[in-house]
A and B are shown apart, each in its own frame.
Chain A
């Protein structure tokens, strides 16, 4: 019940654009969850966060300044970042907020005010 994050990896496969999966951490805070994702080189404008069918998608596109000179050693990856999570029904998707600071995306996912018991009418 408390798992915010069942990751959704299956839907990744069919798409043409290649992404890399950046490291992420999920922390339970008082009334919700905090999700942190590492996206170095991504600015606010390059960040695309969407919720669709209980699936939270975070895409980070890098805008790296052109470097002068020759690249003589490379460890960084050129692809953009993408991470997908299935969000727990107790989370109020309308109240998810996000910020990015020094390449670290922080999302706050508050739980809904009341997770109301649903009544099912018997006909």
Chain B
């Protein structure tokens, strides 16, 4: 199984100062967590937003579950190309008038995740839902990739 993590080069849109404060917070929370748990998020520091992605496989389907809190449905894009599923989008900064950020840990800007799927899927049978900040993409396996029962005659 291949899982390719791809980061778009344009995914860093933060002003330098924000990144420093983010680094500080990241270090603070690093020490706060169980010793093994800080690693998952450290890559995010240097590459922008890389939402957590889980992949499930059943007999007929492959399901990708992505944590995308606080997005609008219309700002999420899903594409399938050559057996690679790509989820991308942009989280926009809300209106800025008269507001002053005190502390910014939430990532604002674009993100892109690509995953090589473990089996062939039928591109015409892809559905997606977005609920409670979780995107769920369900891909039906192509006929030839489904498990087959062979009758013994």
Contacts and interface: CB of A to CB of B under 8 A. Distances in A.
Interface in A23-67: 23-30, 33-34, 36, 38-43, 64, 67
Nearest to A76: B52
B144 interface: no
B34 interface: yes
Contact of A4 (B40, B63, B99, B102): B102
Contact of A38 (B32, B53, B106): B106
Interface in B43-83: 52-59, 61, 63, 65, 67-72
B interface bracket (residues with beta carbon within 8 Å of A): 35 or more
A103 B28 CA distance: 23
Nearest to A43: B132
A104 B108 CA distance: 13
Given A40-B132, A77-B37, A103-B132, A25 B55 contact: no
Given A24-B103, A28-B100, A103-B70, 17 more contacts: A3-B102, A25-B103, A25-B105, A26-B101, A38-B70, A67-B65, A68-B58, A70-B58, A71-B55, A71-B56, A73-B54, A76-B54, A76-B65, A77-B40, A102-B70, A102-B72, A102-B131
26 contacts: A5-B102, A5-B103, A9-B32, A12-B32, A21-B32, A21-B33, A23-B105, A23-B106, A27-B100, A28-B102, A38-B106, A38-B133, A39-B69, A40-B132, A41-B133, A67-B56, A69-B63, A70-B56, A72-B57, A73-B3, A102-B130, A102-B131, A102-B133, A103-B67, A103-B133, A103-B134
Interface of A: 2-5, 7, 9, 12, 18, 20-21, 23-30, 33-34, 36, 38-43, 64, 67-77, 101-104
